[in-house]
Amino acid sequence: MRKTTTTLLLIISFIVSAQHSIDLNYYLPQHITYDENIPRPADIIGHEVGEWHVTHDKLMFYMHTLAEKSNRISIENRGFTFEGRPILLLTITSPENHNNLERIRAEHIALTEKESTSVSIENMPIVVYQGFSVHGNEPSGSNAGLAYAYYLAAAQGPEIDELLNNLVILMDPSFNPDGLQRFAYWANTNRSINLNPDNNEREYHEVWPGGRTNHYWFDVNRDWLPVQLPESRARIETFHKWLPNILTDHHEMGTNATFFFQPGEPTRVHPLTPAMNQELTAEIGSYHAKALDNIGSLYYSEEGYDDYYYGKGSTFPDVNGGIGILFEQASSRGHIQETENGILTFPFTIRNQFTTAKSTVEAAKNMRVKILSYQNEFYRNMRNEASKSRTKSIVFGDNKDAAKAWHLAEILNRHKINFHELTADATIRGKSFKKDHSYVIPMNQKNHRLIKAMFEKRTTFTDSLFYDISAWTFPLAFNVDFVELESMANAGPQITDFKPLTGSVSQQSNYAYLFEWHEFYTPRALNQILSKGLRAKVAKSRFTLDNNTYDYGTIMIPVQNQVLNSNDLHVFLKEVAEDSKIMITGVNTGLSQGIDLGSNDFDPVKKQKVAIVVGSGIRSYDAGEIWHLFDTRYNMKITKIDKEYLNSVDLSSYTDIIMPRSTAKNSNDKTLAKKLNDWVKTGGTLIGYGNMANWFKKHELMNLKIKKDSLVAKEISFGQKSDYRGAQVTGGAIFEAKQDRSHPINFGYKNNKVSLFRNTNIYIEPDKDSYNNPIQYTNKPLQSGYISEENLEMIKGSVPFKVQKLGKGRVVLFTDNTNFRAFWYGTNKFLMNVIFFGKIM
């Protein structure tokens, strides 16, 4: 009781002072002294911590200043974000440790290696990686980083000396620089001198897409495993270089909440994570509890959040011998807000983050030997497991698509997983693998569990609720062929120098050039060719020419009557082939077995002008994935048109308009529907994703039969309601569909089956005519992940893709996201097939 009163008094007195002045001392321990030579944040950035939202540039400026002034801190730039912001890392430890840093690192890594018995952990520093505000609009973390870095640089006395002697702290002050900058701009530009806690204030209602995500609107905190984004690439490099014992991830949650620290839900821990990991997490948690008790802050633990998907920052370390810890602070969004728990100020949120950053290193210091021993034992157990693994190797590849296989190998490479060449072309269990399009992963190696986490398929679970996706099986996401083998017989030499792919033109031709559509970057090549004003055609049938077989979707570029002469065309196509890493074949005859090159079964392909609808009401993740795909992978222009002015845009010059999944439950937009309807009728292709199915149906853009569930709760109590409803959510799982490869939607796919990612519950009835169902879920569709029994019944035999004619144009629907999180390389081609071949569907 006394504690509560003190807290209230503290909060009240603080609100009064928050309006006028904020003092760094609010955050810092007061029983110690601070080095006068170390500049305080306000001296450098011009405002007190928590007074304004720190912009990324100011944050970086302060960190550089600290590194310059303090012999406890070194700083390095590990790369740049999409917007060119530096991705900095501070290494913070005692000056003596700094002098021996490389030796300390080497010994730390040795602890995880075979010879580790000879390594003594008695005097070994523990490594703690502290990261802040991976979601840019959860800014208390990065803002706390200012005070925290100051504390580590300036605090004096035996306590801090002991801490820095025993720890190497890797501090990542901003996990998401572009998002942090975007949010700081928003919160600061709306701030009043008289801070206004009214929830209706604009400051607390950020505009679309908000600062949570990075430049292309990706959730950076889902990319620790797929490592497709520059931010994650930098930190994964650091992670594997240091193998930190503890990694913390400071977030924010809803404004009416309090403070959360892990462990999360006990039944929702990934089975590859050892039980001891959770016990240690709980013991570390006792330090957070004590520290938060001391400042009177409410908190909770062991509910709400989980430790399942290894692509999250707080879970990834758990499969790598470390301990990941998630912190979630109730968000003030801007500077001050009314909440169920009274007034919540920005400084209050910062102080909780500061306090738990500090309790983390306190726990690390006290639990040092225990946690280092855990890491040592984790790797010893894993070596044991790896040597006994029945599966000795995994072979994967795609004999028609070197790039997809290469990009999967690239992920392994970033995670320091060893892989080998394939000894020779081989057919294994009915799947044919080409030497230069395939890789072999030995299972007996250091990161054995990480390989399992990437390659396993799992369909049984102890819980039916997931905070994020329940499956991410990489070979399925990449749509590569793969087999698990009980020997290493197919493994050639280990690949130590992982080289980029190349492309070429077989020979100059005066007749025509051909390339199959399977390679990942063929849309990039085709776009380049069409943008040059060259004519190209697509083959609607298969054929054989000069003893080479050409599949559906082969692209043909005739040599005569083009804007380039024969020599210039050859030079240009060589550039295209190199840039897109594909093989282009020059042929000297049009006579083939099957369709000849002059056949009507070759259809002209036109340059496309694509627009995507964005803005409030559109799921920014899905829109960003498409933008990123066009802009970074295929080098294609895409016009982002905001819903706000879409109605006044002249659409006549666009060939394709993409409508990503919407977040709005009941969007009406009658005028828009009419406008799109008119535009499609003149020849446009309208492409919708997910719940656009309902919208298309409602506005008669498409005639769809959408399956309805008949779920009725029986013997489910009120208390069980949310778990019961939650169990019906398909949060992200993988399903098998069969393909009709003669349909243009499937051009570039070599197998008759494909794996699809799904995080919606939209199920479309198949058409009565089978040729209108080019992709259809099988009757045993679940490959990996969680889905309720009811929904599994609904998905069987349903169709994830529909195309219908409307006037001179087409309306296309995908129920599922074919571009998920930039690592679903295997289904990226579907959208490109609609863009380039929509007219012949």
Close Cβ partners of 456 (under 8 Å, ≥ 6 residues apart) = 473, 784
Cβ distance to Zn ion smaller for residue 138 or 516: 138
Cβ distance to Zn ion smaller for residue 353 or 528: 353
Q: Write down the least CB distance from residue 206 to Zn ion, Å.
A: 14
User: Residues 85, 62: contact at Cβ < 8 Å?
Assistant: no
* Two tokens, residue 90: 């501070």
Residues making contact with Zn ion (CB under 5 A) = 135, 138, 251
Cβ distance to Zn ion smaller for residue 220 or 236: 220
In 213-317 the beta strands, taken as DSSP E runs, fall at 246-253, 259-261
Helices 402-414 & 230-242 angle (0-180, nearest 10):
50
Cβ distance to Zn ion smaller for residue 56 or 312: 312
Burial class from Cβ neighbours inside 10 Å (0-12, 13-18, 19+) for residue 259 reads: buried
Q: Write down the least CB distance from residue 89 to Zn ion, Å.
A: 20
Q: Write down the least CB distance from residue 138 to Zn ion, Å.
A: 5
Q: Write down the least CB distance from residue 87 to Zn ion, Å.
A: 18
What's the number of CA atoms in the CB half-sphere (13 Å) around residue 421? 12
No. of H helices and E strands in the chain? 24, 34
C-beta neighbour count of 460 within 10 angstroms:
6
User: Residues 224, 301: contact at Cβ < 8 Å?
Assistant: no
Kind and range of the H or E run holding 566: helix 566-580
- Residues facing 481 on adjacent strands: 397
* Identity of the residue numbered 360: T
How far from 645 is each of 171, 619, 687, CA to CA, in Å? 43, 18, 19
Cβ distance to Zn ion smaller for residue 132 or 517: 132
How far apart (Å, rounded) are the C-alpha atoms in residues 21 and 641? Answer: 43
Cβ distance to Zn ion smaller for residue 87 or 134: 134
How far apart (Å, rounded) are the C-alpha atoms in residues 458 and 446? Answer: 22
Q: Write down the least CB distance from residue 137 to Zn ion, Å.
A: 9
* Two tokens, residue 394: 């995994």
46 DSSP assignment:
S
* Identity of the residue numbered 635: N
Q: Write down the least CB distance from residue 184 to Zn ion, Å.
A: 16
Cβ distance to Zn ion smaller for residue 251 or 449: 251
Q: Write down the least CB distance from residue 195 to Zn ion, Å.
A: 24
| CA 150 from centroid of its chain's CA atoms | 32
Which residue lies nearest Zn ion, judged by its C-beta?
251
Cβ distance to Zn ion smaller for residue 731 or 781: 731
**DSSP letters of 780-835?**
EEEEES---HHHHHHHTT-BSEEEEEETTEEEEEESS-TTGGGT-GGGHHHHHHHH
Cβ distance to Zn ion smaller for residue 305 or 830: 305
The three-state (H, E, C) secondary structure of 367-401, written as one string:
CHHHHHHHHHHHHHHHHHHHHHCCCCEEEEECCCC
Q: Write down the least CB distance from residue 135 to Zn ion, Å.
A: 4
Q: Write down the least CB distance from residue 607 to Zn ion, Å.
A: 41
How far apart (Å, rounded) are the C-alpha atoms in residues 91 and 780? Answer: 51
Q: Write down the least CB distance from residue 202 to Zn ion, Å.
A: 22
Cβ distance to Zn ion smaller for residue 213 or 376: 213
Q: Write down the least CB distance from residue 132 to Zn ion, Å.
A: 11
Cβ distance to Zn ion smaller for residue 138 or 656: 138
Q: Write down the least CB distance from residue 239 to Zn ion, Å.
A: 19
Q: Write down the least CB distance from residue 133 to Zn ion, Å.
A: 8
How far apart (Å, rounded) are the C-alpha atoms in residues 835 and 494? Answer: 40
Cβ distance to Zn ion smaller for residue 135 or 383: 135
Cβ distance to Zn ion smaller for residue 135 or 540: 135
Q: What is the four-CA torsion angle of 743, 748, 751, 754, rounded to 10 degrees?
A: -80
3-state secondary structure of 661: coil
Q: Write down the least CB distance from residue 252 to Zn ion, Å.
A: 6
Q: Write down the least CB distance from residue 183 to Zn ion, Å.
A: 12
User: Residues 131, 169: contact at Cβ < 8 Å?
Assistant: no
How far apart (Å, rounded) are the C-alpha atoms in residues 298 and 284? Answer: 17
* Identity of the residue numbered 300: Y
3-state secondary structure of 71: coil
- What φ, ψ does residue 368 adopt, rounded to 5°? -50, -55
Cβ distance to Zn ion smaller for residue 140 or 345: 140
Q: Write down the least CB distance from residue 234 to Zn ion, Å.
A: 19
How far apart (Å, rounded) are the C-alpha atoms in residues 717 and 334? Answer: 39
Sheet arrangement for strand 753-758:
753-758, 733-739, 775-784
How far apart (Å, rounded) are the C-alpha atoms in residues 481 and 751? Answer: 9
Cβ distance to Zn ion smaller for residue 138 or 307: 138
Cβ distance to Zn ion smaller for residue 251 or 750: 251
| CA 746 from centroid of its chain's CA atoms | 26
Q: Write down the least CB distance from residue 764 to Zn ion, Å.
A: 33
629 DSSP assignment:
I
Among the listed residues 672, 692, 676, 529, the one whose alpha carbon sits nearest the alpha carbon of residue 608: 529
Contacts 24+ apart (CB under 8 A), 708-716: 709/761, 709/790, 709/791, 709/794, 711/790
Q: Write down the least CB distance from residue 249 to Zn ion, Å.
A: 8
How far apart (Å, rounded) are the C-alpha atoms in residues 344 and 333? Answer: 10
How far apart (Å, rounded) are the C-alpha atoms in residues 191 and 194? Answer: 8
Cβ distance to Zn ion smaller for residue 138 or 318: 138
Cβ distance to Zn ion smaller for residue 72 or 312: 312
User: Residues 739, 751: contact at Cβ < 8 Å?
Assistant: yes
